[in-house]
Amino acid sequence: MFFVPHPLVAPTVIAQIRPTVESLPDGDYRYRDSFVIDRPFREIQFRKQDRYITGSDSDKATGKSYCFRGIALHNNIINITVATEISPKTSPTQQSEWKLEPGSPINFDKLYPLQAGPGLQLYKCLTAFLPKLKD
């Protein structure tokens, strides 16, 4: 006995669904635009807490890197504030000084998650958005 599919029934296709940045559980993440080892890449490391995203965006091709904080919306980070280090700390007791300014949204549609945990750059950026303590 042979089974002949009905001509009006479409075959079922199972697509791999990638979570959006907004749907990720709280935690630390690392994304890149390429898996090719010998090619410069863009890498974003971030910590998600509720809707808030704090992280580092580094472009290895240009050597530019910045810290940011924003809000996750679908697969984007919006309402971004960029932190630029204006005076790095020179001793263990001194804190770095940061300049904060508005930034552009970040889209994750062409970025891929890595299994590797975040690096030191993320932790440096997290300090940029810590509340200022009064002396």
How do strand 97-102 and strand 42-49 relate by DSSP bridges?
Answer: unpaired
Assigned domain for 135 exists: no
Domain containing 43 equals 27-128
Say how far apart CA 56 and CA 122 lie, in whole Å. Answer: 6
Assigned domain for 89 exists: yes
Assigned domain for 106 exists: yes
Three-state DSSP class for residue 90: coil
Indicate the range of 28-32, 33-37, 39-43, 104-108 predicted with least confidence. 33-37
Q: pLDDT band for position 19 (50/70/90)? A: confident
Whether the CB-CB separation of 58 and 133 falls below 8 Å is answered with no
What is the model's pLDDT at position 39? Answer: 75
Say how far apart CA 82 and CA 104 lie, in whole Å. Answer: 9
Give per-residue pLDDT as tens, 45-92: 999 999 999 999 998 888 889 999 999 999 999 999 999 888 766 666
Handedness of CA 30, 32, 36, 37 (dihedral sign): negative
Say how far apart CA 101 and CA 115 lie, in whole Å. Answer: 31
Structural domains of the chain, count: 1
Give per-residue pLDDT as tens, 80-124: 999 988 876 666 666 778 899 999 999 999 998 888 777 888 988
Give phi and psi for 105, each to the nearest 5: -60, 155
Stated pTM of the model = 0.77
Assigned domain for 2 exists: no
Q: What is the 3-state secondary structure (H, E, C) of 17-41?
A: CCCCCCCCCCEEEEEECCCCCCCCC
Radius of gyration of the CA atoms of the chain, in A: 20
Give phi and psi for 125, each to the nearest 5: -70, -35
132: tokens are 């200022």
Assigned domain for 118 exists: yes
Higher pLDDT, 14 or 124: 124
